[in-house]
Amino acid sequence: MSESESGSGSSATLGMEPARAVVLSDLVSYAEGSIVSRTLARTSAGSMSLFAFEVGQQLSEHTAPFDALVQVLDGRVELVIGGEAVVAAAGESVLMPANVPHAVNARQRFKMLLTMLKASAADGGR
């Protein structure tokens, strides 16, 4: 998986100019046989990353200690969450809950915005 971080913003807002409208799917490109990622923001509260998956690529089953929101920007993805397949297409979003095993399968090429939401003591530290 390759990662490209660009832009002149602070470490919290990588790759995007402030106060500008952008088309998120235009900020990451497909690469044959690969998964491409681009971090847009990273703070102590979480991160936002764009991904472009070429057909046939996958992320094997894993867990994360915090909730993750998948927003499909282009194409269609198959997520397996807690053993159940969930298909989402462009314009749809799926919440992957903390500590539940999940996997990502690119049955066709797709792009997504992944927002990781870290828990804090104020919200119960989930």
- What pLDDT does residue 4 have? 43
Q: What is the 3-state secondary structure (H, E, C) of the chain?
A: CEECCCCCCCCCCCCCCCCCCCCHHHHCCCCCCCEEEEEEEEECCEEEEEEEECCCCEEEEECCCCEEEEEEEEEEEEEEECCEEEEEECCCEEEECCCCCEEEECCCCEEEEEEEECCCHHHCCC
How does pLDDT run across 80-99, given as a tens digit for each residue?
A: 999 999 999 999 999 999 99
Q: How far apart are CA 31 and CA 38, in angstroms?
A: 13
How many structural domains are present in the chain?
A: 1
Determine, yes or no, domain membership for 62: yes
Give residue 125's pLDDT band: very low, low, confident or very high (50, 70, 90): low
Compute the distance between CA of residue 118 and CA of residue 115 in angstroms, rounded to an integer: 10
Question: What share of the chain has pLDDT > 90, as a percent?
Answer: 75
Residue 82, in any domain of the structure: yes
- Asked whether 79 and 85 are in contact (CB, 8 A), the reply is yes
Strand partners, 46: 43, 117
Residue 57 within any structural domain of the chain? yes
The answer to whether 41 and 90 are in contact (CB under 8 A) is no
pLDDT classification of 119: cutoffs 50, 70, 90: confident
Range of the domain at 66: 2-116
pLDDT, position 81: 98
- 122 within a domain of the structure (yes/no): no
Residue 124 lies in a domain: no
Q: What are the pLDDT digits (tens) for 6-39?
A: 333 444 556 678 899 999 999 999 999 999 999 9
How far apart are the C-alpha atoms of 117 and 17, rounded to whole Å?
22
Find the mean pLDDT for residues 38-66. Answer: 95
pLDDT at site 122: 54
Which residue in 85, 89, 66 sits closest to 76, CA to CA?
89
CATH code of residue 102:
2.60.120.10
